[in-house]
Amino acid sequence: MAHKITQIPLLSDSVSAGFPSPADDYTEENIDLNEHLISNPYSTFFLRVKGDSMINSGIKDNDLIIVDKSLAAKPGNIVIAMVDGEFTIKRLSTKNNELYLKAENNNYPDFNFKNYADIQIWGVVIYSIHNCL
């Protein structure tokens, strides 16, 4: 099934995060978010987040995340991993020269690679999209 590409107007003025500024009444161009958010379309996928283990990194329950499988995961990256057959989203970290998956919520445990039979990194999270309402 072919996907219809929808271009959304991009206002020619930026929005101030400090003091208000006058807005222009017309648009400069249309943009396709795929062009701005996805560098590697054949290795990129979307996932819906379930839970709040990454809340302190700004990733909330029900967020839509964009994951790129072509990127090499490095410590500090937020990744999608499979831990003993189950998917999870965590920050790839190191402690005492050992890799582990760190939750960004103190109510959840970290996963040390040596304590699990099978941990596979599936991709690096490149964007998180959530509703501001």
Catalytic machinery residues: 53, 90
Query: CA–CA separation, 54 vs 93, rounded Å?
Result: 14
What number of other Cβ atoms are within 10 A of residue 14's Cβ? 8
DSSP per-residue string spanning 4-36: PP--EEEESSPPPSSS--PPPSSEEEEE-HHHH
Helix (H, G, I), strand (E, B) or coil at 62: coil
**Helix (H), strand (E) at residue 37:** helix 33-37
